[in-house]
Amino acid sequence: MTVDHAAAAERGFLAEARRPGPFGWIFSTDHKRIGLLYLWSIVTFFCVGALLGLLIRLELWAPGRTIMDAQTYNAVFTLHGVIMIFLFIIPGIPAAFGNLVMPIQIGARDVAFPRLNLLSWWLYIGGAALAVTSLFTGGGPPDTGWTFYVPFSARTTTNVSLATVAVFILGFSSILTGLNFVTTIHRLRAEGMTWTRLPLFTWSLYATAWIQILATPVLGITVALLFAERVIGTGLFDPAQGGDPIMFQHLFWIYSHPAVYIMVLPGMGVVSDIIPVFARKPAFGYKAIVVSSLAIAFAGSLVWAHHMYTSGMSDLAVMVFSLLTFIVAIPSAVKVFNWLATLYQGSILLDPPLLFALSFILLFTIGGLTGLVLGAAATDVHVHDTYFVVGHFHFTMFGGTGMAFFAAMHYWLPKFYGRMYDKTVATVAWGVIFTGFCILYLSMKIVGMMGMPRRYWDYVPEFTGLNQLATAGSWILGIGLVLMFVNLVRGVLYGKPAPANPWGGATLEWQLPSPPPTENFAHDPVVTHGPYDFRKAGIL
């Protein structure tokens, strides 16, 4: 018995369920269990989305039909977009790692509203189930692209109506998480955890949570209006009835552009937390990073119409939104320079989390700078809706947030499972992923510059070479992803025991045993130093 108890204590929250079997997970209000529920649901959807991406690339191996017809292709890229945006990248880091790590980082025993937290996971799963149902019911899988632009989305006979309901529900899941995080960070910080001692990951979640609360309702309104347009023919977006189709684009992007920052800000937070640890130096310009997170959240909410330069909106709006877009580049660059300055003259340990974090900086910077090509109205007109755009946003979203998500998995999973993955395999997997990534998406950028439009099933023969290069890159990327996930899952299940603080971090989560006990802290901690003060934490 004693041995059993000791073994259970070693497995922390993983061994302490209030209900038997799976019920101990799906009805748990423990933020760590909910975080892991989110993590594995999100990873599952990512794998499905990635598989669809591989199918898209396979179809584009040669002009004309390769493996699927045009209508199937439209459904596949729509599904790839909807899954990757709404089921992977928006909830990705905040819902999975925010839930796992944030309450511990601020010295709390749980989030402010644990039951609401569980509800938001259920809403996520419910929304996902509806999205999957929409594929097999009604008029078949939606074929509009993830943006649901009218007039096509109002007229297509495919099952757009159910998909919009799914998005509506997923939006609520996101709002509830945001609400929970803002309240938690305001109310549940431990003694001594002042705002300037808040880890940068938690700061990024705080900035993100405000966008989730303020912008997501607009998405709900937009898809509800589209639903009404389809079901009762309100005519709001139909010029024949006095409506305005461009208004849909405004409404859609009022949410969906800030959503880009919901996607990337937590990724920036992960990188800001990882770099000081592996450089063995305090974060350079802590306050500048905090302010830049808030500035990105604010300024990023006012640039939505840069997606619409060719839509026919007024020239004045084009100029104003183009100018505002350039402003967002400033706080983003502040972060990049701060990360580099943190690395400068550090004692750098090239462990897998840092490798992924470093590739975030490079790939996100390339993605961000190509974003300025699109943010400038004059150049955007030439590359709008080409593969250049597809290359650009995969660099920011996958090269940015995706890499940060992988960095977070390599950084924090040993903490929450108490087991370490094989670092050599992880490093090899990183190399393969990085190589495949660059081949795939750089080819897309070049073929886009040459004029290949996005979302087309067919293309002219001149583009064949670069498309085949991209498809080959997608295979390399796919192999790297399989290697990485297999290694992580093997590590979680059979890896060597991980110590409490394998990387030498100074934030609170590293002071708990791996895995942490159910309510985290036996006694409420008192915080006496900053998050990257390695000397005071006794690490240096």
Closer residue to other proteins, CB minimum distance, 254 or 426: 254
Closer residue to other proteins, CB minimum distance, 254 or 383: 254
Minimal CA–CA distance to 521: which of 193, 238, 219, 226?
Answer: 193
Closer residue to other proteins, CB minimum distance, 19 or 186: 186
As to burial, measured by CB atoms within 10 angstroms (0-12 exposed, 13-18 middle, 19+ buried), residue 227 is: buried
Closer residue to other proteins, CB minimum distance, 92 or 258: 258
Q: Give residues with Cβ within 8 angstroms of 239, minimum separation 6.
A: 245
- Please give the structure tokens belonging to residue 298: 């604010």
To other proteins, the closest distance from the beta carbon of 319 in angstroms equals: 9
Q: Which residues contact other proteins by CB under 8 A?
A: 214, 218, 244, 246-247, 250, 254, 301-302, 305, 312-317, 320-321
Closer residue to other proteins, CB minimum distance, 214 or 539: 214
Minimal CA–CA distance to 399: which of 427, 438, 426?
Answer: 438
Q: Which DSSP helix (H) or strand (E) runs through 496?
A: strand 496-497
Closer residue to other proteins, CB minimum distance, 69 or 244: 244
To other proteins, the closest distance from the beta carbon of 266 in angstroms equals: 21
Secondary structure (DSSP) of 516-532 = PPTTS-SS--B--S-TT
To other proteins, the closest distance from the beta carbon of 316 in angstroms equals: 4
Q: Give residues with Cβ within 8 angstroms of 183, minimum separation 6.
A: 111, 112, 113
Return the DSSP state at 191.
Answer: B
Return the DSSP state at 97.
Answer: I
Closer residue to other proteins, CB minimum distance, 106 or 246: 246
CB 108 within 8 A of CB 190: yes
To other proteins, the closest distance from the beta carbon of 496 in angstroms equals: 49
To other proteins, the closest distance from the beta carbon of 89 in angstroms equals: 23
Task: Tell me whether strands 419-420 and 496-497 are parallel, antiparallel or unpaired.
Answer: antiparallel
To other proteins, the closest distance from the beta carbon of 99 in angstroms equals: 24
Closer residue to other proteins, CB minimum distance, 188 or 449: 188
CB 493 within 8 A of CB 500: no
Looking at the DSSP bridge assignments, the partners of residue 483 are none
To other proteins, the closest distance from the beta carbon of 229 in angstroms equals: 18
Residue 420: φ, ψ to 5°: -105, 135
Side chain identity at residue 115, one-letter code: R
To other proteins, the closest distance from the beta carbon of 105 in angstroms equals: 25
